[in-house]
Amino acid sequence: MPDPISNRFKMSLERLEALKEELNYLETVREKEVAELIKEARSFGDLSENSEYDEAKTEQGKLYSKIAELKVLIENAEIVDNIEENAPKDTVTLGSTVRVKDLEDGFEDSYEIVGSQEANPRVGRISDDSPLFLGLKGHRKGDVVEVKAPGGVFQYEIVSVDNN
């Protein structure tokens, strides 16, 4: 029997609310817009050679697919707080903002540890499933850690940990 916890999507309450708002918009406003496009395209006549109709039906398929995806995310959402229970306050955990220094080139960068649904590495938000987080998890300021990533093994020094 599959583990129901593994099918959960970790996210903040804010992310869940944003998904619900998007779903509501798609099911109300956007669905009516697409239905109107189909109705208008039908009025152009022969459907077998009607590119507007084909495009509108494709758009409808994409819309229904997105609605289904959002429903799965919402139904399987696991709300996570900023700090994992029982974790010492000064350790890297889900919700931490951690500053690390790459020991190879001396480059420093900050990352916020978030659930997979909120990850966006381009803006410094990394998933709690990422190799970097898995290497940093449970460590404290001053610790030197090895991170095994697809690109190789990297060494980082934890410069700071903020769990506020």
State if pTM tops 0.95.
no
Across the range 47-71, mean pLDDT stands at 89
The model's pLDDT over 77-126, given as tens digits with 9 standing for 90+, comes to 887 765 555 667 789 988 889 999 999 999 999 999 988 888 888 999 99
Q: What is the CATH number of the domain that holds 59?
A: 1.10.287.180
For residue 84, what pLDDT is reported?
A: 57
With cut-offs at 50, 70 and 90, classify the pLDDT of residue 4: very low
Q: Where does a domain end: 47, 79, 111?
A: 79
34 close to 26: Cβ distance less than 8 angstroms? no
Strand-pair partners of 127: 114
- What's the structural domain count of the chain? 2
Q: Where does a domain end: 20, 47, 79?
A: 79
Q: Please give the residue range of the domain that contains residue 128.
A: 97-162
Residues in CB range of 88: below 8 A, 6 or more apart: 140
Residue 75 and residue 134 share a domain: no
